[in-house]
């Protein structure tokens, strides 16, 4: 591979010797966009609107044709073809060209410190920071990419904080924090990480010397120093270490900027941390520790201005109430940290999950193992890890909410659509689609509404069971539109995965849902959809791991989770386990055929016949071979296994 695209800082194309190769700038921008796109492809119409949003559409198409013609000519001169151009799409051939940010599209490293070291080495400059942009769409996309990469750096750094022990590891964390701080000097968690790193070094004078070295490294020999606001925030770091209340200083050379009044600011979100109020046998020694630990975290978070924290006494009262949800709603609480203990003897684990109360979404979860002999030593470390995680996740979720709330009318219709989608009958599915379409009238590129429409089509295909491929094509189309409108939002990838699965594109479905899980690793519904796809991909053991993760994140889960667990268990020959999953379903009638097959494989023909009869009451025309012809399964053994069980049951 002889060529490499550089996007961090200056946009350049380099040859094998590292020399800059001339290439049309718009062509390089197209390369950068295609590299960032998960599918490495985009339609001509979308690229035209991105690059020339201030001209008529016909003119934008003409401009794109000229650019592609120049790119084609230059490719021929270089003897390398970087893109494939069709009548409707442009696709990157990543085999012929590298990109400096390619590793950012890989799953994060399991070793947080080594992952952080690689990212710090990569992020000397921002993505496309030297490009002069005159159109709004491209400018907005570049900002989104910059924030996405900074978020990756921030998340990796937060993962490295708890395990950074040596002086070199602490210095690495501090280096990353300073890179982020340069762009986001008001990020309180970054200020807190810097303060912690400086504290670990013991002396403020050393901290000041280190900052001077970092300042020289970051700003070099420029005649202008770093931004005055950034220096004020660094001053806050040092003053925080000495317990000094920071007072803004007037700088005659940089008078204070009076910001225009933008109307009422958004209310600060409220958070309640519920202590574990129940215990299983053998956990009594851990309960006082867990209560104290959650109180430590609560007090630590009280120093932040980005979130309002409910006091521990009130949190304990809320946790004991039977009408917990009503109490949380009455107190206008946005986020709930729910905690649960499990285990026995000398070891227990504390399971914590952060829930966005408005839609009951689990946005983060983790499990912490506790040893009775080292509770005191563990307390501070676990408290710090939970505090950092909570703050980072709330900030990310609030940024996402800002996207939702740009168009209040669209958001309202989207929420109505989501409410209808909770019901699995056809009229409500179509009502949901109508609400999502209304949302798009108010905000045409509202990605969640496009994802919602995609889901209505795939749901309608499943419920009507007519095999109408056009419904799935519509689902796929709207899922791709949702991805184009919001590349860092999980909904489009999730719906693309579901649509591709039902269309028989099992490998593409796995790829899309893997991307969805990478974007939102604690989203239970995504994990459940991924598990379902893995069952169809003939990977039932991985599917079972994923569905157990989903159930762990969403313990009071919908029936579809348990149905997926039962299907995976059946494929593994664990028929008793499959029936156990089905017994936990609120409406186990959905799985009558699977129950019949499982009982038949266990040799209990009487029970199998009972479920065959129940299945025929709801679907008298069911035919095994017709059903297996429609259901996408990657490997033949899986179809044979289902056929064997269903035939033995009496279908």
| pLDDT 10s digits, 22-61 | 999 999 999 999 998 888 899 888 899 899 988 888 898 8
Least Cα distance to 345 among 277, 285, 278 occurs for 285
**pLDDT for position 281:** 44
CATH class name, domain 406-517: mainly alpha
**pLDDT for position 249:** 39
**pLDDT for position 342:** 73
What is the rounded CA–CA span in Å between residue 286 and residue 604?
45
Question: What element of type H or E holds 317?
Answer: helix 312-320
Question: Per-residue pLDDT averaged across 90-94, rounded?
Answer: 90
Question: Per-residue pLDDT averaged across 429-448, rounded?
Answer: 87
Least Cα distance to 493 among 473, 470, 518 occurs for 518
State the residue for tokens 């023909």.
605
- pLDDT of residue 316 exceeding 80, the answer is yes
Three-state secondary structure of 106-145: CCCCCCHHHHHHHHHHHCCCCECCCCCCCCHHHHHHHHHH
- pLDDT of residue 2 exceeding 50, the answer is yes
Q: Are 342 and 348 in contact (CB under 8 A)?
A: yes
**pLDDT for position 375:** 61
**DSSP character at residue 80:** -
Spans of all domains in the chain: 3-104, 164-248, 270-385+394-402, 406-517, 522-651
CATH class name, domain 270-385+394-402: alpha beta
- pLDDT of residue 238 exceeding 60, the answer is no
What is the rounded CA–CA span in Å between residue 41 and residue 634?
26
What is the rounded CA–CA span in Å between residue 198 and residue 239?
12
Instruction: Give the tens place of pLDDT for each residue, 119-133.
Output: 988 887 888 888 888
Per-chain mean pLDDT for the chain: 79
What is the rounded CA–CA span in Å between residue 262 and residue 268?
16
pLDDT above 90 covers a percentage of the chain that reads 23
What lies within 8 Å, CB to CB, of 205 at 6+ separation is none
Least Cα distance to 96 among 15, 11, 33, 8 occurs for 15
**pLDDT for position 598:** 94
Report helix, strand or coil for 368. strand
Instruction: Give the tens place of pLDDT for each residue, 550-599.
Output: 888 777 788 889 999 999 999 999 999 999 999 998 888 878 999 999 99
**pLDDT for position 595:** 93
CATH number belonging to the domain at 3-104, selected among 1.10.10, 1.10.357, 3.30.530, 1.10.8: 1.10.10
Strand order in the sheet with 3-6: 20-21, 12-14, 3-6, 97-99
- pLDDT of residue 222 exceeding 50, the answer is no
Instruction: Give the tens place of pLDDT for each residue, 239-292.
Output: 443 443 333 333 444 444 434 334 334 467 888 888 885 544 444 566 777 777
CATH, domain range 522-651: 1.25.40.10
Banded pLDDT at 606 (limits 50, 70, 90): very high
**pLDDT for position 436:** 92
Q: Give the lowest-confidence range in 118-122, 346-350, 501-505.
A: 346-350
Q: Are 513 and 533 in contact (CB under 8 A)?
A: yes
Largest CA distance in the chain: 90
**Is the pTM here over 0.85, yes or no?**
no
- pLDDT of residue 15 exceeding 60, the answer is yes
CA dist list (Å): 12 to 28, 294, 385: 7, 50, 40
- pLDDT of residue 211 exceeding 50, the answer is no
Question: Per-residue pLDDT averaged across 92-113, rounded?
Answer: 82
- pLDDT of residue 110 exceeding 80, the answer is no
What lies within 8 Å, CB to CB, of 512 at 6+ separation is 493, 494, 496, 497, 500
Q: Which is more confidently placed, 413 or 266? A: 413
Q: Which is more confidently placed, 62 or 522? A: 62
One fold for 406-517 and 522-651? yes
- pLDDT of residue 383 exceeding 50, the answer is yes
Q: Are 35 and 99 in contact (CB under 8 A)?
A: yes
Question: Per-residue pLDDT averaged across 477-496, rounded?
Answer: 83
């Amino acid at each position: 591979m002889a060529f490499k695209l550089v996007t961090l800082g200056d946009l350049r194309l380099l040859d094998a010797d590292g020399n800059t190769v001339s290439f049309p700038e718009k062509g390089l921008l197209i390369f950068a966009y295609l590299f960032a796109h998960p599918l490495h492809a985009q339609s001509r119409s979308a690229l035209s609107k991105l690059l020339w949003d201030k001209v008529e559409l016909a003119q934008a198409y003409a401009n794109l044709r000229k650019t592609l013609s120049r790119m084609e000519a230059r490719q021929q001169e270089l003897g390398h073809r970087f893109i494939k151009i069709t009548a409707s799409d442009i696709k990157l051939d990543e085999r012929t060209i590298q990109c400096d940010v390619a590793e950012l599209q890989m799953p994060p490293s399991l070793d947080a410190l080594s992952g952080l070291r690689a990212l710090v080495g990569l992020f000397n400059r921002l993505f496309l920071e030297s490009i002069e942009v005159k159109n709004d769409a491209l400018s907005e996309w570049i900002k989104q990419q910059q924030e996405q990469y900074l978020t990756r750096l921030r998340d990796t750094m937060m993962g490295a904080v708890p395990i950074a022990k040596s002086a070199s590891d602490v210095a690495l964390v501090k280096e990353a924090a300073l890179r982020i701080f340069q762009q986001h000097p008001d990020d309180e968690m970054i200020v807190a990480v810097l303060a912690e790193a400086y504290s670990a070094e013991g002396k403020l004078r050393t901290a000041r010397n280190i900052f001077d070295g970092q300042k020289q490294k970051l700003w070099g020999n420029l005649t202008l120093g770093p931004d005055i606001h950034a220096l004020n925030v660094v001053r806050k770091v040092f003053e925080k270490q000495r317990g000094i209340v920071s007072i803004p200083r007037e700088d005659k050379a940089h008078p204070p900027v009076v910001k225009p009044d933008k109307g009422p600011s958004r209310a600060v979100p409220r958070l309640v941390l519920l202590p574990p109020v129940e215990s299983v046998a053998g956990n009594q020694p851990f309960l006082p520790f867990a209560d104290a630990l959650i109180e430590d975290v609560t007090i630590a978070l009280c120093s932040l201005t980005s979130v309002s924290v409910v006091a521990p006494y009130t949190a304990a009262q809320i946790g004991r109430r039977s009408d917990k949800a009503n109490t949380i709603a009455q107190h206008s609480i946005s986020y709930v940290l729910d905690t649960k203990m499990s285990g026995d003897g000398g070891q227990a684990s504390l399971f914590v999950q952060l829930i966005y109360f408005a839609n009951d979404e689990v946005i983060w979860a983790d499990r912490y193992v506790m040893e009775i002999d080292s509770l005191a030593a563990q307390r501070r470390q676990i408290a710090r890890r939970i505090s950092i995680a909570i703050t980072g996740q709330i900030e990310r979720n609030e940024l996402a909410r800002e996207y939702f709330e740009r168009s209040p009318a669209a958001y309202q219709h989207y929420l109505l659509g989501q409410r209808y989608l909770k019901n699995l009958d056809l009229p409500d599915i179509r009502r949901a689609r109508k609400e999502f379409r209304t949302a798009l009238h108010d905000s045409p590129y509202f990605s969640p509404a496009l994802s919602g429409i995609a889901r209505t089509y795939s749901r309608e295909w499943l419920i009507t069971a007519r095999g109408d491929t056009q419904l799935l094509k519509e689902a796929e189309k709207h899922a791709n539109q949702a991805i184009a409108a919001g590349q860092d939002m999980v909904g489009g990838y999730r719906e693309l995965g579901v649509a591709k699965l039902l269309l028989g594109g099992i490998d593409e479905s796995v790829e899309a849902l893997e991307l969805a899980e990478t974007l939102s690793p604690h989203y239970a519904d995504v994990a459940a959809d991924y598990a379902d796809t893995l069952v169809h991909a003939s990977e039932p053991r991985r599917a079972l791991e994923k569905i157990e993760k989903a159930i762990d994140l969403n313990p009071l889960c919908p029936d579809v989770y348990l149905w997926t667990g039962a299907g995976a268990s059946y494929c593994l020959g664990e028929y008793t386990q499959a029936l156990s999953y089905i017994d936990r379903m609120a409406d186990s009638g959905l799985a009558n055929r699977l129950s019949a097959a499982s009982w038949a494989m266990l040799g209990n023909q009487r029970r199998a016949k009972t479920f065959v009869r129940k299945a025929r009451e709801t679907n008298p025309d069911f035919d095994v071979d017709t059903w297996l012809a429609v259901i996408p399964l990657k490997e033949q053994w899986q179809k044979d296994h289902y056929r064997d069980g269903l035939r033995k049951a009496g279908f």
